[in-house]
Amino acid sequence: MANVFISFAIEDKILRDFLVGQKKNARTAIEFTDYSVKEPWDNAWKTNCRERISRCSGMIGIITPNTPTADGQLWELNCAVQEDIPTLLIHGHPAPNRITRLPDEIAGRQIYNWTEANIVAFLDRLGGYT
């Protein structure tokens, strides 16, 4: 089973909960261990967060209109790049409620639809997942 860090804007916590709930649904093939940050850390949060991200097999970034102003989420996404952690970016909302201008941290990167097939394909690529 893959250890996956879920990156999300705090305003989108419900979407993170939906993703974790989706993996618990018996009718889905999605399976991972959630390593996301559930509570704010003290001043050393970046050190703690980097350590947690570096231990993960991959990251799923939930991208919404809140993402451009979510400094913590943007830092997490950059950290995954720096740590060479495979990352799947998924839209948190269906069209037309999607982000229109991508922040520099994710500009030019593909953002996939939030589907079971896309998530399972990503997890398969991480290895150690069946």
- The domain segmentation of the chain, as residue ranges, is 2-126
Per-residue pLDDT of 87-124, as tens digits, reads 999 999 998 889 888 999 899 999 999 998 999 899 88
**pLDDT for 82 beyond 80:** yes
CA distances to 22, 90, 100, 106 from 110, rounded to whole Å, are 22, 9, 13, 8
User: Across the beta sheet with 2-7, what order do the strands follow?
Assistant: 32-34, 2-7, 58-63, 87-91
HEC assignment per residue over 10-67:
HHHHHHHHHHHHHHHCCCCCCCEEECCCCCCCCCCHHHHHHHHHHCCCEEEEEECCCH
Tell me what pLDDT residue 100 has.
82
Instruction: Report pTM.
Output: 0.88
Contacts of 22 (CB under 8 A, 6+ apart): 28, 30, 116
Give domain 2-126's CATH architecture: 3-Layer(aba) Sandwich (3.40)
**Structure token digits, residue 10:** 């705090």
109, 89 contact by CB (below 8 A): yes
Q: What percent of the chain has pLDDT over 90?
A: 53
Per-residue pLDDT of 11-23, as tens digits, reads 999 999 999 888 7
Query: Binning pLDDT at 50, 70 and 90, where does residue 127 land?
Result: confident
On the question of a cis peptide bond just before residue 40, with omega within 30 degrees of 0, the verdict is no
